[in-house]
Homo-oligomer: A and B are copies of this chain.
Amino acid sequence: MPRMGPQERRTEQRREQREALRERILEVSREIVRREGFASLSMRKLAEAIDYSPAALYLHFKSRGDIARALRAEGHASLRAAFLAHTSIVDPAARLNAMGRAYVEFGLAEPETYRLMFMEHTDSAQAGADATGNGHAAEHGATTLSLIADAFVELRAANRLPAHAAPVACAEGLWANLHGIVALKLTGAALPETPAATLVELSLDAWFPPANRTEPRFDSANRPDTSTR
Contact = CB atoms under 8 A, between A and B. Distances in A.
Nearest to A206: B206
Interface in A144-171: 145, 155, 158-163, 165-166, 168-170
Contacts of A3: none
Interface stretch (A5-13, A43-51, A196-204): A196-204
Interface residues of A, number: 76
A29 to B, nearest CB: 19
Nearest to A92: B228
B160 A172 contact: no
A4 interface: no
Contacts of A172: 191-194, 199
Nearest to A170: B202
Contacts of A94: 228-229
Interface stretch (A15-23, A58-66, A117-125): A117-125
B226 A187 contact: no
Contact of A220 (B187, B192, B212, B219): B212
B192 A175 contact: yes
Contacts of A184: 118, 175-176, 179
Contacts of A119: 119, 183, 187
Contacts of A162: 205, 209, 213
Contacts of A2: none
Contacts of A177: 176-177, 180-181, 203
Nearest to A142: B191
Contact of A207 (B187, B192, B206): B206
B199 A176 contact: yes
Contact of A189 (B124, B155, B192): B124
A165 B202 contact: yes
B188 A125 contact: yes
11 contacts: A89-B229, A91-B227, A120-B187, A121-B189, A141-B191, A155-B218, A162-B205, A162-B209, A175-B180, A209-B216, A219-B228
A-B complex: 3 closest residue pairs judged by Cβ atoms:
A180-B180, A124-B188, A138-B190
